Amino acid sequence: MALSSRCGLLRAVVYNCLARFEQHLISQRFYCKEQILTMLTLLKHSIKKSNLKLAPIV
């Protein structure tokens, strides 16, 4: 929900957290790692502009 926030600063913080989380995942070993990295990669490649507000998905 934070990526759909009207507050640009909050979205920037969340994008930063996702980038750090992705870097953390790369160095770890656990079950379903590839699925989570694939989801993050798809999200990253679907965003065309910096700090883009995403539509909330229910």
CB 4 within 8 A of CB 56: yes
pTM of model > 0.85: no
So where are the chain's domains?
Answer: 2-46
Residue-wise pLDDT for 20-45, tens only, equals 999 999 898 988 999 999 999 998 89
**8 to 11, 33, 38, 48, 49: CA distances (angstroms):** 5, 29, 26, 16, 13
What's the pLDDT at 54? 86
**29 to 4, 36, 49: CA distances (angstroms):** 30, 12, 31
What's the pLDDT at 58? 58
Residue-wise pLDDT for 5-23, tens only, equals 999 999 999 999 999 999 9
